[in-house]
Structure 1
Amino acid sequence: MSAETDPPLLELLARQAGVLSRSQALRHLSARMVERRLGSRRWQHAHRGVYVAHTGPVDREARRWIAVLSTGDGTLLGGLSALETVGFRGFITDRIDVLVRAEKTPSGPPAGVVVHRTGILPASDIHLMRRPPGTMPARSLVDAAQWAISDQRAWAIIAAGFQQRLVYADDVRTVLARMPRAKRRALISEAVTWSSGGVHSAAEADFLRLCRRAGLPEPLLQHARRDAHGRRNYLDAYFEECRLHVEIDGGHHMDVEHWWADMRRQNDLWIPGDRVLRFPAWAIRHRPAEITAQLRAALRPIPFLNTSPPLPVAKSPRSKNEG
């Protein structure tokens, strides 16, 4: 039987997206056979000691294997890279995050691979059934929030994990309890509390707090509605009784495409009669009195907020013979 049809080698390549380490290759082939494949360009060098057993484009799955195999035994996909393998959507970047134990110091990882070291990695945080191996969703979510470029993005990642039903609150809290020095630990804990209750961003949490402090009715968050064209939209906050929609603008609204998409959605809501108030996220946190005043004015038709004097009661006509 030739090496090209060796079942164990073929199974390995199928399992690892066509990627293998030198040590894996030498279990099935001689060093000379490996060099011959590289020399004839049937295989290609992916990184030092890591090969791709074809000469075509290297896809995302193969890049994940290259990242893990090039940084040594025990390396795990972590953060967003691990979440991607369980179906996480919306935050994936070209960067691949891997997690190694603190005593390891991998040198020269491939371009686009970021190595994170940790002193806390119990067996319960390792997803043994995943290929490539990675961390469990709860640990992955905490790490992704730790490694995020901003607090706002960290909160959004936590919220998305709950929105996409990839984690349970108790599992994430268990991970946090083991990591007392985790970056953004307080923010992650708060985000877990709010997100597990349906809040999808820090700005939404701030808005809900503002409503509670001001004694205003609590809106529906991420309320599903169909616009005039039948498209399904999710409203940031919706006061159903007054048909008032509150749009909370984050930093992305400086982008023209996002801005127009939001304006179009707002116009579609106005057409059938809903009213829309728009507030920037920073104003909800730093100008709460102004936001509250505008909300009170918009919500006045709600009975318990109606401060107009009662209408006079009409008196019954008196007969001329009375008094």
Structure 2
Amino acid sequence: MVRVLPADEAGTLEWLAFEQAGVLTTGQASRLLTEGVVRGMVRSGRWRSLCRGILLTGNGRLTRDQQLWVAVLAAGPCAVLAGVTAAAEAGVRGLPPEPLHVLVPADRRVRTLPRRLPIDMPGVVAHRTTVLPEAHLQRARPPRTTTARAVVDGASWARSLREAQLVLASACQQRRVLPEEIEAVLAVLTRPRRRDLVRRTVADIAGGAQALSELDFLALCRRHRLPRPDLQERRRDQSGRVRWLDAYWREWRLHAEVDGAHHMDVRHWAEDMRRQNDIWTNGDRILRFPAWLVRARPGEVAATLGRALRAAGWRPPK
């Protein structure tokens, strides 16, 4: 829905409704009108009462912007969008659209979130924090945390370790946040849940990991005490085109490729075959593993890598 800018002669109520996508608290509406007028607007059906204390200055279904404003206003003063909700608003794609996450300073009085939300409103989860400096706030509408703080919180609140890594990898891969910006948040937010996982994942991303499959591959190498490979190694093929190797042990001239689902496509398979032949003709060894095997049978992958590395001269630490 396209929102129309109010006319120059518009009053305070119209401008406030425009800024908040048509969502107001009853307190805001009553201060600008009167309680009687507000009740009349709701009873006549011109406005919707969405939940206790929250109104819509219209009678249609809620848009995404309106849902976000409902979440922030229902959570009370100083609430901001946070976690994957704030990250998605910053442009990170592929994150769960609901529930909506909001963050509130722990020292503020916050009204209890309404249990009964309208049917066109997703669930809302409110989190409290004792650490929310000005530097972690993004001046947006609705207000939200910065992208770096959002992905740290999103990883902390994720339902699984893999989902936590997905939040971090997506934000960095899509260039919405830099690893050093996440590190700066961790320097201030010293006790978030999964802090070690976030730091390790961010370090892997800074070292070249671009996808969950590559993060899985590095975790496999650490767990089985294999040497750490270089990721996304740049190389030119026989035709002069720049190629990127998934994992490469330069000292032992071993290359490992982690194949995602797109490698099943015939066109990608032919392209990968040509690249693989270029590598082999230069004297390097190449191993290929499907991403699901790295995730489901890491021991099997590690054993194969260990044999190839030993054959090339590597000696495992005692």
| Superposition TM-score, scaled by structure 2 size | 0.74
* Alignment of structure 1 residues 180-259 onto 2, 5 Å: 180-201=190-211, 203-208=213-218, 210=221, 214=226, 218-220=230-232, 237=246, 246-247=257-258
**Bigger relative contact order (CA 8 A; separation at least 6):** 2
| 1:69 shift after superposition | 0.7
CA distance in 1: counterparts of 2:188 and 2:301, whole angstroms: 36
CA distance in 1: counterparts of 2:227 and 2:78, whole angstroms: 53
Residue number in structure 2 paired with 1:41: 45
* Alignment of structure 1 residues 70-109 onto 2, 5 Å: 70-103=74-107, 104-109=109-114
| 1:243 shift after superposition | 11
CA distance in 2: counterparts of 1:287 and 1:196, whole angstroms: 27
| 1:10 shift after superposition | 1.5
Which residue identity does 1:57 align to in structure 2? Answer: R
CA distance in 2: counterparts of 1:199 and 1:57, whole angstroms: 42
**Identity of matched residues, %:** 29
Q: Does 1:120 align with 2:125?
A: no
* Alignment of structure 1 residues 2-13 onto 2, 5 Å: 6-13=10-17
Q: Does 1:64 align with 2:77?
A: no
Which residue identity does 2:232 align to in structure 1? Answer: L
Residue 64 of structure 1 contacts residue 96 of structure 1 at CA under 8 Å; is this kept in 2? yes
Task: State how many pairs are aligned.
Answer: 277
Kindly tell me: are residues 235 and 96 of structure 1, through their superposed partners in 2, closer, same or farther at Cα, counting changes over 3 Å?
Answer: farther
Residue number in structure 2 paired with 1:228: none
Question: 3-state SS of the aligned residue for 1:27?
Answer: helix
**Where does the alignment leave 5 or more consecutive residues of structure 1 unmatched?**
225-233, 250-258, 307-323
Deviations 1:256-300 (A, max 9, x none): xxx5x5522664445657477224233674345423057559xx9
Q: Does 1:148 align with 2:158?
A: yes
| 1:6 shift after superposition | 4.1
Residue number in structure 2 paired with 1:321: none
| 1:58 shift after superposition | 0.7
* Match of residue 56, structure 2, among 52, 55, 58: 52
Deviations 1:36-56 (A, max 9, x none): 111111111122111111111
| 1:203 shift after superposition | 4.2
Deviations 1:86-141 (A, max 9, x none): 211111322100011224453233451011111111222122x2111111111111
| 1:142 shift after superposition | 0.5
CA RMSD of aligned residues (A): 3.6
Q: Does 1:286 align with 2:296?
A: no
Kindly tell me: are residues 219 and 101 of structure 1, through their superposed partners in 2, closer, same or farther at Cα, counting changes over 3 Å?
Answer: closer
Question: 3-state SS of the aligned residue for 1:24?
Answer: helix
Residue number in structure 2 paired with 1:264: 265
CA distance in 1: counterparts of 2:131 and 2:153, whole angstroms: 12
Which of 170-179 and 14-23 deviates more? Answer: 170-179
Residue 88 of structure 1 contacts residue 164 of structure 1 at CA under 8 Å; is this kept in 2? yes
Which residue identity does 1:156 align to in structure 2? Answer: L
CA distance in 2: counterparts of 1:285 and 1:236, whole angstroms: 20
Residue 47 of structure 1 contacts residue 66 of structure 1 at CA under 8 Å; is this kept in 2? no
Residue number in structure 2 paired with 1:16: 20
CA distance in 2: counterparts of 1:289 and 1:244, whole angstroms: 14
Which residue identity does 1:140 align to in structure 2? Answer: A
CA distance in 1: counterparts of 2:125 and 2:228, whole angstroms: 46
